[in-house]
Amino acid sequence: MAIGSHNEVIHQVVNKTAMIILNRPQALNSLNYSMIQKIHPQIRAWEADSDVQLLIMKGSGDKAFCAGGDIVALTQTHKKDGKYGFTFFPDEYKLDYALGTYSKPYIAIIDGVTMGGGVGLSVHGQFRVATERTLFAMPETGIGLIPDVGGGYFLPRLQGKLGMYLALTGYRLKGRDVQLAGVATHYIQSNKITELEETLVGLDQPSIKNVNEILDSFHKESTSEQHDFILKSEMDKINRVFSGASLEQIFENLEKDGSEWALKELNKLKRMSPTSMKLTFRQITEGGQLSLEDVFLMENRLTQRCMEDHDFYEGVRALLVEKDQKPQWKPDTLEGVTQEKVDWYFSKLPNGREMTLP
């Protein structure tokens, strides 16, 4: 067994299996820049190492896989140096893309809170294992950002208009529903994680086939009881309402529906950043036709622009720093978000800031 530790990231190799452990449990394993810098070269080295044939990533503790990027530090540091966000986001996306295109079997054990940056570390891999403690969400429209880390790729590929709904509302999925939604590929009880890891580590020749067979077996054992998807009864409404040809039409559809559910969703959307929602609508709409690489290039433009605008800083202040829960969006109406402004967000970045992926 080879073990290395950089405090915030622990890496080890047992038999043919390499493991990354996100080790900031006091911060719900939120992802910072130094962690990105440690993980990316390590997984590349393992990819080139013939002695390593399987990669597993998990979080330390029992509360979170990864609660997202450390966006408080991100916004505060960028305010001081004017550069940090321009480095953090592209390097985060390069890591996510490397995991999404990994040439060896990759399993993310998303036990506990898995949001934002934690979704990016997991959702593009071949295998994502949820437990009863998993809590998934992409809550970015509520903080003036967009559901990035490849959200423009995986969200529109979920069933019906579920991805658009999750992207705009930040709805939280828990436990088995994370797997039934298609965000996770498998579901197991958390008390089976150690046994699962031991079984995987015991493989002398890990492959997509035998790893999948093991995961299927554990999944079957943990899902013997019937469980209907939590949004099953709402999916027809979600598909109808969120198929609007524009964000404004989605708002109109909710108003016309007038049901308790529709009004609740409408009130939820009215609290979100109008700019973020307009960007997210176009991101999810266009992302359904783009490759994973092109989605990351698009999202890099969007998040770079967020660092140059107002709402991201305001959302972080209101929800995560001062916590008054009263963000003052600029503009504060959908009508105030011009097409010109949206086009600027999606436009090519100047001064060599466009991201390139290998």
Strand order in the sheet with 17-22: 2-5, 9-14, 17-22, 54-59, 106-110, 127-130, 186-187
40 membership: H or E segment, kind and range = helix 33-48
Cβ atoms of residues 10 and 4 within 8 Å: yes
Instruction: Give the whole-angstrom CA distance, residue 346 versus residue 199.
Output: 46
Strand partners, 184: none
Give the active site residues.
Answer: 69, 117, 140, 148
Which residues fall within 8 angstroms of residue 347, CB to CB, at 6 or more apart? 301
Cβ atoms of residues 207 and 105 within 8 Å: yes
Cβ atoms of residues 17 and 49 within 8 Å: no
CA 60, 63, 65, 68 dihedral sign is negative
Q: Where are the beta strands (DSSP E) in 147-303?
A: 173-174, 186-187
